[in-house]
Amino acid sequence: MNKYRKLINNSAIFALGNLGSKLILIFLVPLYTYYLTASEYGRVDIVTTTISMLLPIISLSIYEAVLRYVMDNEYDNESVFTNSLVVTFIGILFGVLIYPFLRYLNILTELLPYMYIILFLQAIQMLLTQFIRAIGKIMIYSINGIMMTVITAVLNIYFLVQLKMGIPGYFISIIVANIISILYLLIRTNIAKYIDLTKINKQLVVKMLTYSIPLIPNAFIWWTMNASNRYFILFYIGASANGLFAVANKIPTLLSLLNTVFFQAWQLSAIEEYGDTEKSKFYSNTFNYLSMTLFIGTSIILVFLKFIVSMLVSNEFYTVWEYVPFLLAGIIFSSFSGFLGTNYIAAKETKGVFKTSVLGGGVNIILNIILIPILGINGAGLSTLISFLIIWLIRVYDTRKYIKVDINKKSLIINCLLISFQTSILYITLIPIYEFIVEFILMIFVLIVNKNLLKITGQLLFSKMKVKLNKR
């Protein structure tokens, strides 16, 4: 199968599992803003953010090694899965042992049990999903994503609206959804057949941990740039401001969705094609089309931003639109950084991921300390944007020793300028209809600059329609 077609087909399957699930989560935002106060939502966000920080630590990020080693065919699937499962359970056991200490320190008080249960369930769930993805069962992977989100949504509505349980109801819905997801994956894929305790291999464990452990600080640093600003906002401004920032982050989910869908498929293609003689051309073309997609997506969101916010949130949260543009730009450069980070993964040089992320993480912390007291919530978004921009620029040059990615600089600069103009217009006090017209015109210019992507997309859709008509 043509490598581009395979990437597109895989992206479409991952989209099936992500589009529905992510959109459901976006549509749940009004529910949260009506049934949780800004302060309550801020506390919920701190717990979920902390879970995302602890997950790679408690699991030793072994799920990342699962994907790489299964696809590399160096070891059989039973060996990779069994040894990664052992590592995961050892991590969970360690987490259980330190629970009394955290209780003694009175960390997160009554929310600590919820955090622990979700953390352990997600460690197992992450291992299972990465494994089934690696062995090619991506349709099951996608269906699981939809199912898990639907269950979470239904239970959220029941617990928050019907039973009015507040924060506990929110967390219980996540716990139940994770349990059902794990059971589904175990039964649907008969994954137990891959467990063979006779294949516990110390040498393999060391190899996998050598690969995955450098990704732990990298994950922490990535978390620092994506999430630590919440703690700075909490410290400098308060829980209510953090609640506003958490809601503002939901809007860019529309853009990060595109990146999530693509990146899941791209990881598979990048690893498969790494040994190809024309890999540089493949990587370069893919990067340029990804950048076009992200710029078009950002432009469209900016045109309808205020309308989207007014439809999704209560009046108390309407001002969150002011914080969205910087977060959108941050996602663009986060996506660029992640794309080039895959070059390290494909080359099995995960130390490069760590080194480049350390610098970005340090810059992010320093900028949070400087900018949040000056610019408020927008300081957090701006610090994240600058940090990811720095990481991307470093990786552009550092990854050339593995794969040279030729970037269309002219298109990139024009797109950045047009998005900057669109952002500036939002902060100028204009009559709404005039503001919309100017934003719409700028969006048209973005589409013109990226017409090659639209042309190729049109050709693909036309060819698919032609094939279906011929079959009839």
**Average pLDDT per block of 10 residues along the chain, 472 residues long:** 61 58 61 72 76 83 83 81 91 83 69 86 90 84 83 86 83 91 91 88 87 74 65 75 75 73 67 65 81 89 87 75 88 86 72 77 87 86 88 86 83 93 89 90 92 68 52 52
Please answer whether residues 391 and 357 qualify as being in contact, where contact means their C-beta atoms are separated by less than 8 angstroms.
yes
355's tokens: 């080194």
Residue whose token pair is 């305790």: 197
Please answer whether residues 55 and 119 qualify as being in contact, where contact means their C-beta atoms are separated by less than 8 angstroms.
yes
Task: Return the domain boundaries, the chain.
Answer: 226-472
Q: Going by C-beta distance under 8 Å and a sequence separation of 6 or more, which residues neighbour residue 440?
A: 303
CA 56 to chain centre: 14
Give the H or E element holding residue 276. Answer: none
351's tokens: 């130390």
352's tokens: 């490069």
Q: Sort 284 into a burial class: Cβ within 10 Å, 0-12 / 13-18 / 19+.
A: middle
Please answer whether residues 23 and 150 qualify as being in contact, where contact means their C-beta atoms are separated by less than 8 angstroms.
no
* Long-range residue pairs from 274-278, CB within 8 A, at least 24 positions apart, any chain: 274/346, 274/347, 274/403, 276/3
**Which pLDDT score is estimated for 121?**
93
- Between CA 91 and CA 60 the distance in angstroms is 7
% of the chain residues with pLDDT over 70: 79
**Which pLDDT score is estimated for 307?**
86
**Which pLDDT score is estimated for 1?**
47
**Which pLDDT score is estimated for 418?**
94
Please answer whether residues 387 and 363 qualify as being in contact, where contact means their C-beta atoms are separated by less than 8 angstroms.
yes
Output the DSSP codes for 365-396: HHHHHHHHHHHTHHHHHHHHHHHHHHHHHHHH
